Amino acid sequence: MISLDSPVTAVLGESKKAKNFTDGLGLRTVGDLLHHFPRRYLETGRLTKVDDLQPGQMLAVIGEIEKSDVKTHQDRRTGKMAARVETWVRTDGPRLQITFFARHVGSAKWRADRLGPGTSGLFLGQAKLFNNQWQLTHPKFVLFGAQESHDDDIATVEAIGDLYPIYPLTKGLESWDVARVVTFARSVVDDQPDVVPEAVRERYDVVDAQTALGWVHAPEDHTQVRRAHRHYRFEEALVTQLVLAKRRRAVREIGAQARDGGDGTLLKAFDERLPFELTAGQREVGEQVEADLARPHPMNRLLQGEVGSGKTLVALRAMLRVVDSGGQAALLAPTEVLAQQHHRSITAMLGDLAGGALMGGTTVELLTGSMTKTQRTGPMSRLGSGEAGIVIGTHALLEDKVQFADLGLVVVDEQHRFGVEQRAALTDKAGSPPHVLVMTATPIPRTVAMTVFGDLEVSTLRELPAGRAEIQTNVVNLVDHPGWITRVWERVREEVDKGHQVYVVCPRISGDELEQNQTDLPEVDEDGQLVVPATAAPPLAAVEEVVTELADGHLAGLRLAVLHGRLAPEVKDATMRAFGAGQVDVLVSTTVIEVGVDVPNATAIVLLDADRFGVSQLHQLRGRVGRGGLPGLCLLVSSAEWLSPARTRLDAVAATTDGFELSRVDLEQRREGDVLGGSQSGRRSTLQNLRVLRDEQTIVQAREAAEDLLETDPALAATPLLAGAVADLEASANADFIEKS
């Protein structure tokens, strides 16, 4: 008996193309084969009149050959004689002319003999109109009754309805090869398990598995295709949301010490010292966080917001509430530059409250990997004794030697830069599970938050505090206007002449550095094939080369400094302090300034080779300017070709400063791989059928269904197939993306 778990060879028989299925397409089981869905469908010539064709439309037409002639011509490239076969095919509408080119007359005659009068077949290709005659050039085809045609091929083709399935293929396979094997497999496999319970299918209008399988492989119309895909997307969404819902419930069952804020003395004193009013969003999120901290189970909240929306202030108020409750708070930052920036800004916001308990406040410590053993001794001692209420640090906080008296809150900044193991290493330092607040300045679409961070509660800060100025963003196209780079440096000098400061960002540190660790995506065509440039691209801008060129050229006489990851920590800190103090006019850096750097007097940023950065990264970098109430300017310098994917990204960033809109653009271009998968390449998504932007309604419904199912049956005992699918996802490598939270 053949089942979904049977090896795919069980339905391939003695096929010489078996390796193409197993090795080329990676199909190991019959189930893999049946879930190898068509990537698109072509309307067949039987029902789609050739009269209704549009130039460029892909056509699958069944017709009868009237005649085939061999024509010769001189190849303009080689000067040698070449040949072509012109075949005329009768369809249900006008005749089609089909052309095949050949290098030699002999091969052309051989093909013409195959395409003899009276032979019928299926022809697949792109329709073109020339001299009022529809043509196909070098179409794929299978001939009925030809000696090399398989009887099953003919039967499969003759069974085609209105739509012809086009499958993802590998070398040596055509779509009818896959269609033939799938048709046979469907005829012998009866056990199509329905993972989605019947009651849920009825409530959300989802067809059953058997119907969906038939409609996805052999649809009569596009409505059936849509409903079939709806089944598989809902099934995947439901299983994913059940895993996340179970994790949310598990977190709620873990005991944690409630942090009610005690008498609130420290937080109240801080609020009274604030020189401005909290935004409505900050007040709302602050109330959500306070309510979470007061509960006897760990807070697990994601705080997202635009650059400059005030996330750090919300986090600081949460930390002060925990300190008021007798606990400690730790802020984990991904880089030393950001950790030092947080330490400076938080200490400045606290003012005299950062002088320790004797001053009515608390001690704020900094702990980074570059600090010497002697420099660490004091902070580590004060953390262990409980004297220090707040610590800000990098991965150094994760070391075993770092101990806390009572760690009550962990704040993780730019959380996507840390793995779950790193966060666990910090939370494990607490006597009881600490509350966790993770922050990101990379806006996340609602459905991504529901899918990827589905076991966190999500808070969003959308409004910007008063004092944030508009940022003008322009793409500087060096392909058509190479001379514009001169104007870029003139604008930089103009800003400095006004007493302002400027960032210049490069994708590399030095000229001899390999071009790696870029967030840019490879250019691909609509079928996902890599597009190889016709000519080698010029080398990318490098910090060490650019600063020398500018100092000797366009920006001679200005105070320039460099900042990148290879510099010693004390040098990086001194450079940022000098820039912040206005002692540096132009800071030439890598993307180390992407997050956390706050210099109100910086009004312009120049991004060289801007097409080498992703949409969200460009948005983050742009957010470094316009922070002091002065209008900001962002210049995206690029040699990306017009209408290329890279140029499309730049135009999207220039068109809006709405980070949430840009996050959708970023996700669409990256095919969700960097959000849902472990790599940043964006080429693969851990979700198979579901797309978090396209299938928003499906995800919302699946989340609702998941909560209802667990409410009535927490163990899913009444739905064993669904329970098994959930267990498989929890145990599989594909569950890695769930661990992001």
The 10s digit of each residue's pLDDT in 702-718 is 999 999 999 999 999 99
Q: How confident is the model at residue 174 (pLDDT cuts 50, 70, 90)?
A: confident
**Facing residues of 98 across strands?**
87, 136
Tell which wins on pLDDT, 560 or 413.
Answer: 560
Q: How confident is the model at residue 537 (pLDDT cuts 50, 70, 90)?
A: low
Cβ atoms of residues 632 and 604 within 8 Å: yes
Q: pTM for the complete prediction?
A: 0.63
Per-residue pLDDT, 51: 58
Contact criterion met (CB below 8 Å) for 258 and 293 = yes
What are the distances in angstroms from CA 706 to CA 202, 234, 453, 737?
A: 15, 11, 15, 19
Q: Residue holding tokens 């001679």?
A: 556
Query: Which pLDDT score is estimated for 677?
Result: 36
Whole-number pLDDT of residue 378: 94
> What's the order of all strands across the beta sheet hosting 632-638?
471-477, 632-638, 602-607, 501-505, 586-589, 560-563
Lowest mean pLDDT among 136-150, 308-322, 430-444: 136-150
Q: What is residue 595's predicted lDDT score, i.e. its pLDDT?
A: 65
Angle 108-114-118 (CA atoms, 0-180°, nearest 5)? 125
Phi, psi at residue 329, to the nearest 5°?
-130, 145
Backbone angles phi, psi at 67, to 5 degrees: -165, 160
pLDDT > 80? residue 80: no
What is the rounded CA–CA span in Å between residue 713 and residue 623?
Answer: 47
Q: What is the pLDDT of residue 532?
A: 40
What contacts 82, CB < 8 A, 6 or more positions away? 72, 73, 74, 75, 101, 102, 103, 104
Q: In three state form, how does the secondary structure of 261-292 look?
A: CCCCHHHHHHHHHCCCCCCHHHHHHHHHHHHH
Of the ranges 56-70, 84-98, 417-431, 695-709, which one carries the lowest mean pLDDT score?
Answer: 417-431
Token output for 457: 């509660």
Residue percentage of the chain with pLDDT more than 70: 82
CA nearest neighbour of 167 among 33, 29, 40, 26: 40
From the list 545, 549, 547, 539, the residue with the least C-alpha distance to 514 is 539
pLDDT for the residue 327: 93
Residue 618 structure tokens = 């460009």
User: What confidence tier does 357 reach under pLDDT thresholds 50, 70, 90?
Assistant: confident
Q: What's phi and psi for 185, nearest 5 deg? A: -60, -40
CB 693 within 8 A of CB 668: yes
Cα atoms in the Cβ-side hemisphere of radius 13 Å centred on 695: 27
Determine the average pLDDT of the residues in 396-423.
77
Q: Which structural domains are found in the chain, ordered by start?
A: 40-166 (2.40.50.140), 280-293+310-440 (3.40.50.300), 471-656 (3.40.50.300)
d(CA 549, CA 556): 9
Residue 460, beta-bridge partner list: 304
Is the pLDDT at 363 greater than 80, yes or no? yes
Among the residue ranges 292-296, 375-379, 464-468, the one predicted with the least confidence is 464-468
- pLDDT averaged over the chain? 82
**Tell me, what's the pLDDT at 718?**
96
pLDDT for 199 beyond 90 = yes
Please tell me the distance from the alpha carbon of residue 64 to that of residue 580, in angstroms, as a whole number: 78
Residue that is written with structure tokens 């306070």 in the block: 290
Most trustworthy range by pLDDT among 133-147, 638-652, 686-700, 725-739: 638-652
Region 582-608 average pLDDT: 90
* Pair 370, 570: CB distance under 8 Å: yes
d(CA 648, CA 611): 9
pLDDT at 368 over 80: yes
* Mean pLDDT (whole number) for 599-608: 94
Please give the Cα distance from 456 to 449 (Å, whole number). Answer: 8
Mean pLDDT within 159-178: 78
Mean pLDDT, residues 525-531 taken together = 35
The residues facing 607 across adjacent strands are: 505, 636
CA geometry: angle 394, 398, 402, nearest 5 deg: 105
Q: Of 432, 443, 182, 459, nearest to 317 (Cα)?
A: 459
pLDDT of residue 58: 73
The mean pLDDT of 555-573, rounded to a whole number, is 91
> Could you read off the pLDDT of 654-678 as tens digits, one per residue?
998 887 788 777 766 655 443 333 3
* Percent share of the chain, pLDDT over 90: 39
Reply yes or no on whether the pLDDT at 437 is more than 80: yes
Decide if pLDDT at 449 tops 70. Answer: no
Provide the residue type at 348 as one letter. A
- The pair of three-digit structure tokens given for residue 733, joined into one six-digit string: 């490598």
Residue 136: pLDDT band with limits 50, 70, 90: confident
Cβ–Cβ contacts within 10 Å for residue 422, how many?
Answer: 15
Q: Are 324 and 262 spatial neighbours (Cβ–Cβ below 8 Å)?
A: yes
Residue 193 has pLDDT above 50, yes or no: yes
- The Cα–Cα gap between 141 and 149 comes to 11
At 677 the three-state DSSP class reads coil
Largest CA distance in the chain: 101
Average pLDDT over residues 436-464: 74
pLDDT at 628 over 70: yes
Is the pLDDT confidence value at 59 over 80? no
Helix (H) or strand (E) holding 663: helix 659-670
* Lowest-pLDDT range of 49-53, 156-160, 630-634: 156-160
Element (H, E) at 675: helix 673-676
Q: Determine contact, residues 159/149, Cβ cutoff 8 Å.
A: no
Return the higher-pLDDT residue of 531 and 373: 373
What's the N-to-C CA distance of the chain in angstroms? 43
741 has a pLDDT exceeding 70 = no
Torsion of CA 519, 523, 528, 533, to 10 degrees: -140
Instruction: Evaluate if residue 233 carries a pLDDT over 90.
Output: yes
Amino acid at 591: T
pLDDT for res 166: 82
> What's the CA gap between 18 and 145, in Å, rounded?
23
Burial (CB < 10 A; 0-12, 13-18, 19+), residue 627, is buried
> Which H or E element spans position 606?
strand 602-607
CB atoms within 10 A of CB 428: 11
Average pLDDT over every residue of 5-30: 88
- The pLDDT confidence band at residue 484, using thresholds 50, 70 and 90, is very high
How many Cβ atoms sit within 10 Å of the Cβ of residue 717? Answer: 8
Would you say 448 and 458 are in contact if contact means Cβ atoms under 8 Å apart?
no
Contacts of 294 (CB under 8 A, 6+ apart): 258, 259, 260, 261
Q: What is the mean pLDDT of residues 247-260?
A: 79
